[in-house]
Structure 1
């Protein structure tokens, strides 16, 4: 009777510590080749072996953190440094790496703390001495800039309040556009956002008080017939519309092919959107006189007027069916 062949002996699986070292060595090779992504994969595989050697695991975390650092993944690198330090509190490389990560993340107070922790272990470690001095300098600069910004913010806040008080004093109404799309009207200082009147026009111009305490507004002129606009960045509240028209149309614009846009041949209006009604302005009026009208609401910090050629076919068609008031 033939005997069954003996079972082949299976090679024993290497212990976790040995596998972890293999992956560490593999990661180190990739790291030397500057293939940091593969290095991270190798170190991660080594950590997955969960060997019971805290020093080996600390090295795996430290090395993986270094690879993450060179890829710009500073938070991941910091997490590895933290884990390495937990496993080996005196691991100087992990402490230096953690301090470097905090520097990159602009956490200067934390960087100083890590440097001091490392210097308690090695008081003459050059990297930590230099980094601590740099972190301290940057921290002081950051604190100084923060103080300056706070002073500037307070100054700007004060200027906004003065500006809003001037607007309120003149009984000028601001129309705010909340996020829900429903327009709100307010003329009370306490009721409107300090940013509510800021212009969002393309030029970035904003209403401001001049040295004499007069308001200067960014004003938009619309020419519906031609789809054109004019923009005055600082329209003095006591200036008349006719004065600006004389300057704006001292030369006829290239889009006015029929040569109709002469100051004396223009009519100006503003629209009451809530009532869908139009108001014709007197060009001899000042901007302030118009803004103080009970139905004028300044939207987005930029007063807007519409200009039409008198008795033109386009004008007649535009106003057909609309109620028009005269100031």
Structure 2
């Protein structure tokens, strides 16, 4: 080989700089000639944190139902829940682990779904199945689904009769459902094994006291119901005795006021055994009504009108509606108009053969005596 070939050239500083510049230029030209293609495989700059959070290696929370799954996450999930890749006990444990994870972060509904899937596996391990049922009962309890929680506790106890957690929760569920007798039964089972369990002793005492209060309230309600029934029977008899005519068959339903303003003012008996009626006064001239909550049958119309018109109503701009200047009418079943004397008591009108009580509320028409409105009104009849 030629000796000159192996001889190392001594470069000056200027030559090195010139060569470096030449190489940089050639590299730039090479890159510029490469075909331009958009890079689409990476995360967008404006959403890289969002995309990163979706990646199974970086996500902090599991996907929610309905979320689009990352292909890698979906693959891992399929591997975890594939019955061909897992024994029944492994599957049940996997679902239990998921349920426990969601339970820890108070995602109780998701926990219930996971425990339910684990129960559906029907593995032959009684301990696992009892735990799944007990854990689902706990999730139901925190959602206040006490009946569902109790059912799961009872199912767990069938598999594992001495399951303390299930017994404790069953007692609490019964207490919350106000089934105090059953709660005491569960408390007694627990106390047979641990007589000094203060929590259960306190719960048992509360159940006994509340059961007594419950029975006392039930007896009180029964007595009140009987008393109310007796009062209602007496009311019907008094109306019949007076000969009042009520539209339709006389019953409590027929005595309920049809007007919302009087819905809580059904006819009743006062301490003197007088009927007290809700009444409506109609003023055709102004197309308005007064809702009188209580009109004692022994009270006269003039007495009540004196109270109603003690002050001039806002709608009476001419101040002509005065108690001594009013005429009272009612419409008979034959569509005729009948006048009522102002000194007449209510009982006298309601027991007349010409009057029918409709909708549990007697009603009367009030006009100004001798007014144009009264004459126009009477012409209709």
Q: Please state which band the TM-score falls in when normalised by the shorter chain.
A: 0.7 to 0.9
State the structure with more CA Rg. 2
- Greater helix share, 1 or 2? 2
SS of equivalent residue, structure 1 residue 173: coil
Q: Deviations over 1:119-161 (max 9, x none)?
A: 3444443333222211111111000011111112222222222
Name which of 82, 89, 110 aligns with 2:161: 89
Shift of 1:19: 1.3
Instruction: Provide the rounded CA distance (Å) in 1 between the counterparts of 2:237 and 2:321.
Output: 38
Which residue matches 1:276?
335
Q: 1:156-305 alignment to 2 at 5 Å?
A: 156-175=228-247, 184-186=248-250, 192-193=251-252, 196-199=254-257, 201=259, 202-203=261-262, 204-272=264-332, 274-305=333-364
Unaligned runs of 5+ in 2: 1-78
Normalising by structure 2, what TM-score? Answer: 0.71
SS for the counterpart of 1:160 is helix
Question: Taking structure 1 as reference, are residues 117 and 319 closer, same or farther at Cα in structure 2, changes over 3 Å only?
Answer: farther
Aligned-partner Cα distance in 1 for 2:198–2:127 = 24
CA distance in 1, matches of 2:297, 2:289: 20
Q: Is the aligned partner of 1:41 residue 2:113?
A: yes
Q: Is the CA contact 1:197–1:301 (under 8 Å) kept in the aligned structure 2?
A: yes
Structure with the larger RCO, 1 or 2 (CA within 8 Å, 6+ apart): 1
1:30 aligned to 77, 102, 118, which one?
A: 102
Using the TM superposition, give the Cα deviation of residue 288 of structure 1 relative to its aligned residue in structure 2, in angstroms.
Answer: 0.7
Residues 102 and 110 of structure 1 are in contact (CA less than 8 Å); yes or no, is this contact kept in structure 2? yes
Shift, 1:20, TM fit: 0.7
Alignment partner of 2:207 out of 129, 135, 159: 135
Q: What is the SS of the residue equivalent to 1:306?
A: strand
Write the distance in 2 (CA, Å) between the matches of 1:285 and 1:248: 16
Question: What SS is found at the alignment partner of 1:115?
Answer: helix
Deviations 1:76-127 (A, max 9, x none): 2122112111221221211211221111111222222222233344444333
Change (3 A) 1:126 1:16: farther
Q: What is the Cα deviation at residue 319 of structure 1?
A: 4.4
Deviation at 1:247, TM superposition (A): 2.7
Query: d(CA) in 1 for partners of 2:321 and 2:122?
Result: 84
Deviation at 1:313, TM superposition (A): 4.3
C-alpha contact 1:268 1:308 (8 A) present in aligned 2: yes
